Amino acid sequence: MNNQQLTAIASAFAIQGDILSIKQLGEGFINDTYIVTTTDGNPNYILQRKNHNVFPDVAGMMDNIAAVTAHIKAKVADPLRHTLTVIPALDGKLYVERDGNFWAMCLFIEGSKSYERADSLQLAYQGGVGIGRFQSLLADFTTPLNETIKGFHNIRHRFNQWDEAIAADRASRVAELTEEIEWIESRRKTMLDFWSLVESGVIPMRVTHNDTKISNILFDEATDRVLCAIDLDTVMTSTSLNDFGDAIRSYTNTGAEDDTDLDNVNMNIDMFRAYAEGYLSERQSTMTESEIEWLAFSGLYITFEQVLRFLMDYIDGDRYYKIAYPTHNLVRTHAQYKLLRSMEEQYDDMRRIVVNLLS
Ligand code: ADP
Ligand code: GN1
Ligand code: MG
């Protein structure tokens, strides 16, 4: 995508000022993100090409984001920094379509920073506050949301996809993955039993973020206090436990998501405590008994799901996640499985910490 094309797309949105530069930001697994700077005195913007294979209904996704952010804006002290601001296109739509690609824009939040890893307990605590607050601000949001990715954190749906992927064996990799496949199969029943509690309503449905890794939180550059949750593409109705679990998967990992040295990868229980403390400070009074009971387990659940998703994508010939080298998804599978094992070993301690924080 050259600069001229990017400028044409950015100019189709209702921006203020003249465009000075458009530069790629980070390397997301799913979308392509650019920062658009403009002439002095005007805001800067985030321009994003939304992955149309992952999000077939970009219009529905943008409707979700606009509704949820409008709801939050009405409640927070600083509406331009405490949530995303969607910038509509000049034709009034919330996205621009060009050559089969879908683009969306939001305000760049100045004086913010994000992290790829949680490098202090304070940061983990703040991240927990961020997601706890996000869920609390949306507790009274009643408009139905579009299900933009079917069965996103629904392990029954994931197992259906898994069974199909194994049967199809598109990349002829199943035969060499006996051990890894057993990691998934040996936990099938435990994970489905948990999900039955969601299906039967024992665990309630709420408005959730669904992608709560640390890079999807903005922190104040000056104070490192949380500003808001970003990357709202996956906002949907689900269990709040998924948001907690996905954050635990990300914040507590002492290694990288794709670490090739498994000795680096473990769950840091102090990070777990710090994140849980921040989260509960915002959510404790509104959680049900069942949510409290299963809070620690949610870390294992989402990490297991991530092992399944990375492995399934590898089996499928790497169609979902962007990869940097041919075995990338397999490396991610092994690294996330190591994290899952570490969580399983420390599960009793995780449960005790939740009980202690609540007493
Ligand atoms: P991806 O889907 O690729 O993960 P994100 O929406 O998470 O895309 O954006 C990638 C990164 O860009 C974030 O981690 C953050 O550093 C930065 N970013 C995204 N939106 C904003 C924003 N509105 N203001 C400031 N920085 C942002
Ligand atoms: C993707 O878009 P990004 O990089 O924040 C993925 C998450 C995974 C994550 C793994 C829509 O998140 O579900 O947990 O990668 N998002 C989607 O790092 O599938
Ligand atoms: Mg992101």
What b/e readout covers 170-179, taking b as 16+ CB neighbours within 10 angstroms?
Answer: eeebbeebee
Residues 133 and 244 in one domain: yes
**What DSSP line would sit under 124-137, residue for residue?**
HHHHHHHHHHHHHH
CATH of residue 311's domain is: 3.90.1200.10
CA of 230 to the centre of ligand 1 (A): 7
Q: What are phi and psi of 24, to 5 degrees?
A: -70, 145
Ligand 2 pocket test: which of 51, 61, 117, 213 has the largest number of ligand atoms within 8 Å of its C-beta?
213
> Ligand 2 center to residue 54 CA distance, Å?
10
95 & 133 share domain: no
Q: Ligand 2: does its nearest atom lie under 6 Å from the Cβ of 257?
A: yes
Tell me if 202 CB under 6 Å of ligand 2. Answer: no
Asked whether residue 79 is assigned to any structural domain, the reply reads: yes
223 with 128, same domain? yes
User: How many domains is the chain built from?
Assistant: 2
Co-location of 192 and 341 in the same domain: yes
Q: Is 258 in the pocket of ligand 2 (CB under 6 A)?
A: no
Residue 30: what pLDDT?
A: 87
Residue 67: inside a domain: yes
Question: Is the same domain home to 209 and 281?
Answer: yes
Last residue in a domain, options 88, 110, 132:
110
Distance 355 CA to ligand 1 centre (A): 34
201 and 298, same domain (yes or no):
yes
Collect all residues with Cβ–Cβ distance below 8 Å to 13 and sequence separation of at least 6. Answer: 45, 47, 87, 88, 89, 90, 96, 105
Same domain, 33 and 174: no
- What the block records as the tokens of 318 is 């790497």
Residue 116 lies in a domain: no
- d(CA 31, ligand 1 centre) in Å: 10
**What residues line ligand 1, using a CB cutoff of 6 Å?**
25-26, 28, 30-31, 33, 46, 84, 106-109, 112, 114, 215-216, 218, 230-231
For residues 140 and 63, membership in a common domain is answered with no
Q: What is the pLDDT of residue 237?
A: 96
Residue-wise pLDDT tens digits, 131-168: 999 999 999 999 999 999 999 999 999 999 999 999 99
298 lines ligand 2 (CB under 6 A): no
**What is the per-residue pLDDT for 26?**
78
Domain boundary among 56, 91, 110: 110
Mean pLDDT of the chain: 97
Question: Is the distance from the beta carbon of residue 180 to the nearest atom of ligand 2 less than 6 Å?
Answer: no
Residue 220 lies in a domain: yes
- In degrees rounded to 5, what are phi and psi of residue 45? -135, 155
Give the distance between the most distant pair of CA atoms in the chain: 60
Q: Is the pLDDT of residue 28 over 80?
A: no
Q: What is the residue with the minimal CA distance to atom 3 of ligand 1?
A: 28
Q: How many CB atoms lie within 10 A of CB 213?
A: 20
| pLDDT tens for each residue of 250-301 | 999 999 999 999 999 999 999 999 999 999 999 999 999 999 999 999 999 9
Kindly identify the ligand whose nearest atom is closest to the C-alpha of 28. 1
What confidence tier does 190 reach under pLDDT thresholds 50, 70, 90? very high
30 CB near ligand 2 (under 6 Å) = yes
pLDDT above 80 for 317:
yes
Tell me: do 212 and 84 sit in the same domain: no
Please identify, by atom number, the ligand 2 atom nearest to the C-alpha of residue 29.
4
pLDDT of 130 above 90: yes
For residue 221, what are the domain limits?
121-358
pLDDT score recorded for residue 29 = 80
Residues 228 and 199 occupy one common structural domain: yes
Provide, rounded to the nearest whole percent, the portion of the chain with pLDDT above 90: 98
Taking 80 as the threshold, does the pLDDT of residue 195 lie above it? yes
Our answer on whether the CB atom of 303 is closer than 6 Å to any ligand 2 atom is: no
241 and 102 within one domain:
no
The reported pLDDT for the residue numbered 102 is 97
For position 194, what pLDDT does the model report? 98
pLDDT confidence bin for 1, thresholds 50/70/90: confident
Q: Cα–Cα distance between 218 and 209 in angstroms, integer?
A: 14
Distance CA 269, CA 201 (A): 30
Is the pLDDT assigned to residue 239 strictly greater than 80? yes
342 and 268, same structural domain? yes
pLDDT for res 12: 98
Q: Is the pLDDT of residue 27 over 80?
A: no
Kindly state whether residue 209 falls inside one of the protein's structural domains.
yes
CATH number for position 66: 3.30.200.20
Q: Span 297-314, mean pLDDT?
A: 98
Q: Measured on CA atoms in the order 5, 8, 11, 13, is the torsion positive or negative?
A: negative
Distance set, CA 146 to CA 136, 162, 351 (Å): 20, 24, 34
